[in-house]
A and B are shown apart, each in its own frame.
Chain A
Amino acid sequence: MRYLPKSPAERERMLAEIGAASIDDLFAVIPAEYRLDRDLDVPRQHAESEIVSYFRAAGQKNATDYASFLGAGAYRHYRPVIIDSLVQRGEFLTSYTPYQAEITQGTLQAIFEFQTMIAELTGMDVANASMYDGSTGSAEAVMMAVRVTGRHKAVVAATVHPEYREVLATYAKHQSLPSTLVGYDRETGRVDLAALDAAVTEETAAVLVQSPNFFGTIEDIPAIAAIAHAKGALLIVSIAEAVSLGVVRPPVEADIVSMEAQSFGVALSYGGPFCGVIAAKEKYLRQMPGRLVGQTVDSTGYRGFVLTLSTREQHIRREKATSNICTNQALVALMATIFLTVYGREGIRELAEHNLSKASYAAATLGSQAGAKLLFTGAPRFHEFVLQTAETPTLWSQRLMDEKIVGGLDLSKWYPELGNATLWCATEMVTRENIDTAARVLAAAPVEA
């Protein structure tokens, strides 16, 4: 086996040194009836060339040459080439969690830079070293708010990503943490402020909203914060599209921000690995989940970085830890750090403005086709919009696929009240030609006889 660095003679020599007659001696402790006396029924050993062929074929079977208007928590942005050049350096790729600080300063300094960038972009004081993804990060943020406030109820906007809400429900179920769902305004697509005000009580630990929300609409964060804070609840803002922060005002009134940083240079990869991160006001630091990197000095006074405040974590605190999280998404956080360094202060704004322009054109073009109507026009959007069509989405989406285009996401599963509604996303990767073609296909509904 080509990954194993031993010759048969070396194995024999080692067995002799150990004093074992055969390798089976070393497994004798496993009761005989539980030892596997046959080959595993898995595919035979393959050559590297065969492995590459297999996955190439899988990639081709997936169909690669489609333009796509899909977003909904997973966004296709251009990934600068140097991201993969750098993260594939073995020193980053094949290193463990930086517990031994003297020989992991590279990872530690990069995470410190990541934490700084996330804090800067979100308008929070501090950010952690990453969470699994945006969905679990939101659930962890709610649990963090429970620890901070000592309260045990959550109020959640229906405009938070439905799968994020499902994950929260899974986490909250066994922690006596009931959630109240608050609906949205049918004109703006924003959370219904009157309903929110009615739902938040003195028992509410946290209000969880997403902005830009699942419909692509930017929530009125100052107004939502005022409602939450009036009752002593924390405001958690979930951000699923991190690139929005290049042009959208950061949610500075929030107490905790849970962000999915996939948009910062992370491949879609059919939904993972992505990169969640939690940022917060400094006063809530000791209740944050996950790893944190801090600056310190070495014994001769030079600057260095270490994992810090680990008394919050499971390997020290065990069942009293702030979270059970251990492995996070370090290498993906490094991708995001490199991405943000490439685009920088000006680039992230320009990139976000390109997205805004593409989506404005797409919304106006698609929304003006006969039988199509743009919903939620009463509030600002980033790069996603909801389109209602006279025709059912299954019909026109098949025609779009014939043109090698994947259209908007059918919302009927989650928001049946919206009828034939679909969620469209136009990033900088979508071309005007894609948009015009999609509009032509949408307009080409068969005329009823």
Chain B
Amino acid sequence: MTTNATAPKTLGKVRPHQTQNEALVFEKSSPGKRAYKMPPLDVPAVDAAALLGDAHRKTPGLLPELSEIEIIRHFTRLSTWNYAIDLGMYPLGSCTMKYNPRVNEAVARIEGLAEAHPYRPDSLAQGILDVIDLLQRCLIEITGMDAITLQPAAGAHGEFTGILLVRAWHESQGNARRKILIPDSAHGTNPATAAICGYTVENLKSNSEGGIDLEALTRQVDEETAALMLTNPSTIGVFESQIHKIADILHAKGALLYMDGANMNALVGKARPGDFGVDVMHLNLHKTFSTPHGGGGPGSGPVACKAFLEPFLPTPVLCKTGNREQGTGNRVQGTGNRQGLGTEGPGTAGQLHWIYDRPQSVGRVRAFYGNTGMFIRALAYILANGPDGLRQTTEDAVLNANYIRAKLEDLYELPYKTASMHEVVFSDKRQAAKGVKTGDIAKRLIDYGFHPYTVSFPMIVHGALMIEPTESESLEELDLFIEAMRAIAREVDETPDLVKTAPHSTRVSRLDEVQAARKPILRWRPTE
């Protein structure tokens, strides 16, 4: 690995791009450059070496030394190498890459909210607690559940929390039970979650329509089944029309219905999981409620549940003075805010407090209260929409997916003909016959100026193309996408190699993932 022949090229023209090359920040560093200036100390300076003794750091970490303009340019140049929702359609199925409103960013940075220390006394935190309280009530109303925790930091963390609630409830009934049923179409986080909660995973085969096979479910649910983890609409974008029967089969054996809310963007304002038999579910604020994905986080994964699971919610829970019994919210109460936020601004009468004394709680799943900055953004989104906007959003998301389906189903194989909700899943069956796979089509889509769809998932569809446009795409953008997909289908017939070697327009071409994994280079090191 030390010879020049195998060392990667880092200089010279790569591909046409406005910023061709940008070295690693360490390679740009030179000693003595500064991008900071400390104010004068207003207390006596201490001798760190003398004060810390053996605990004093002798060798500094090799951090870069640059000026401010170089840092601005470095990260700005890097940013231009990213595709983003702001640049165009990002139809990653199951990821709900919708527009991230900028007012969300502005309000999350308001000083009194952004600079609030989590341990400040509740009396000095009433503003942020009002925000949390209102978001909780909105999410309870949207899901049709009875109670909620906002503590989980992301979807998978919410799953973990939800399954802990399931487990705690079964334990309170005398038997934690042994297994969790998970459809073969599920996200990988579902089985991984069940495993870390101490459950064995039992696979549930999908039926010929990609949904839950009721007979198989009836056979497999027994007294040792803790829950079914169900994504609804499923990962092929299909609503489980037999959902009430599914819930009944589970409940008859004392098992619970957990819903993975990854696809909630198909339901908000149109149907509520709490109404169709779901006992506990998580939401992804970074999907359905427009908080930015940020290149992979932060997310937020609130868990909503029915009243019988409320005593088990993670500590602490939010409560209003004089209303200790109310716990984390009450469906009947609603938000009490249907017409507006009132003239007096946030909050109604009564002080909000965190309650820690919860003997049946599953415990904490995270320090402090959750990714609060994401709560602010999600609430801003809900306020911007209102009930009519939320419903229209869902309708447009479903309309967009069905439009794509209608415009592409003559060229791409549709393995399940069931009605699509917010996403449509094709297979590469016809293209694979020509030697072109879903991953190749995805890469070629980049050349047409789009982010690829989700590739090869769900696993029940061989060679899947999972397309979720979200509501954020205009008809014009959808037509461009459809045109691109149709052009690629033609290329598969006429010039398949063009597709198999795509992308051709990006700064770097296909990257060698095998080499990356075989001899991992996970950090920069100075050259000798």
Contacts and interface: CB of A to CB of B under 8 A. Distances in A.
Interface string B258-273: 0000000000111110
B81 A45 contact: no
A248 to B, nearest CB: 6
Given A41-B338, A103-B82, A91 B130 contact: no
Contact of A103 (B121, B389, B451): B451
A129 B297 CA distance: 11
A326 interface: yes
B159 interface: yes
Contacts of A232: none
A248 B78 contact: no
Contacts of A332: 294, 297-298
Nearest to A294: B516
A285 interface: yes
Interface string A86-104: 1111111111111011111
B103 interface: yes
B154 to A, nearest CB: 4
Interface residues of B, number: 216
B523 A116 contact: yes
B435 interface: no
Question: Which residue, of B128, B398, B400, has the highest number of chain A Cβ atoms within 10 A?
Answer: B128
Interface stretch (A50-58, A194-202, A437-445): A50-58
Interface in A291-317: 291-306, 308-309, 311, 313-317
Contacts of B341: 43, 46, 50, 54
Contacts of A106: 77-82
Contact of A64 (B48, B108, B111, B472): B111
Given A90-B84, A92-B79, A247-B57, A174 B197 contact: yes
A300 to B, nearest CB: 6
A391 interface: no
Contacts of B201: 318-319
A99 to B, nearest CB: 8
A346 interface: yes
Contacts of B366: 132-133, 135-136, 167, 272
Contacts of A132: 153-154, 157, 298, 366
Interface string B314-358: 110000000000000000001101111100011100000000000
A130 to B, nearest CB: 7
A34 B44 contact: no
Interface stretch (B217-225, B237-245, B426-434, B488-496): B237-245
A18 interface: yes
B374 interface: yes
A127 B522 CA distance: 8
Consensus secondary structure, chain B interface: loop
Nearest to A98: B295
B294 A330 contact: yes
A272 B372 contact: yes
Contacts of A342: 35-36, 68, 71
Interface string B386-427: 111111110110111011011100000000001101000000
Given A56-B110, A94-B293, A120 B61 contact: yes
Interface stretch (A9-17, A149-157, A178-186, A367-375): A9-17
A331 B117 contact: no
B472 A3 contact: yes
A418 B434 CA distance: 74
B63 A92 contact: no
Interface stretch (B24-32, B248-256, B302-310): B24-32
Interface string B134-161: 1000100110000000000111110110
A435 B113 contact: no
Contact of A340 (B63, B119, B120, B442): B63
B515 A271 contact: no
A57 B345 contact: yes
Interface string A103-133: 1111101111101110111000111011011
B48 A61 contact: no
A100 B8 CA distance: 20
A431 B40 CA distance: 11
A271 B150 CA distance: 12
A344 B119 contact: no
Interface in B29-79: 29, 31, 33-36, 38, 41-46, 48, 51-58, 60-66, 68, 71-72, 74-79
A396 interface: no
B81 A26 contact: no
B271 A36 contact: yes
B296 A107 contact: yes
A148 interface: no
Contacts of A270: 113, 116-118, 125, 128, 368-369, 372
Given A43-B341, A171-B196, A298-B509, 14 more contacts: A34-B243, A40-B141, A40-B142, A45-B389, A51-B383, A52-B106, A82-B72, A126-B523, A167-B365, A272-B374, A298-B512, A308-B522, A314-B191, A327-B284
Ranked 5 nearest A-B pairs via Cβ:
A59-B112, A271-B368, A331-B294, A45-B386, A90-B86
13 contacts: A1-B388, A18-B406, A34-B276, A57-B346, A58-B346, A61-B347, A97-B297, A102-B446, A218-B52, A270-B369, A314-B188, A356-B48, A357-B45
